[in-house]
Structures are given as C-alpha cells and as structure tokens.
Amino acid sequence: MAKITQDMTIAQVLQEYPDTARVFMSLGIHCLGCPSASGESVHQAALKHGQEPDDLLRRLNEAAG
C-alpha cells in the first residue's frame, strides 16, 4: 500500500519520510527547504522538473520503505 500520495507536498513527504530526500535530490528537485516545498505537491514537483509523476511516486514509496 502506497504511503506517499501525489497530492502530498514535498514538505509533508520529507517530514514523514526523511529518507526520500535522496530521491528528490537525485532527480534534480533540490528545493527541499524553500517555501515552495510546503506548497508544491509531489505531482507538481515532478511536472515542474521534467519527471514522470508516477515514476517519482514509485521511487518515493520505495525509499519510504
């Protein structure tokens, strides 16, 4: 069962699953502590950074264990 959903913000994901930071960083999503992290969803971040939203979500959930 997926723990992380596409509508969660980057900040929510990082707060609950800190190990996901490496996934964001490896895909060029570096603004983990800036204001947009608290307002940008996983889906929005994927699109903004040229990533496939479903692939990002899969990787984040794998990292979250």
Q: What is the pLDDT of residue 2?
A: 64
* pTM (predicted TM-score): 0.89
DSSP structure class, residue 19? G
Residue extents of the structural domains in the chain: 10-64
Average pLDDT of adjacent 10-residue blocks, the chain of 65 residues? 88 94 92 86 94 96 94
42-61 as b/e, with b when 16 or more CB fall inside 10 Å? bbbbbeeeebeeeebbebbb
**Domain 10-64 belongs to what architecture?**
Orthogonal Bundle (1.10)
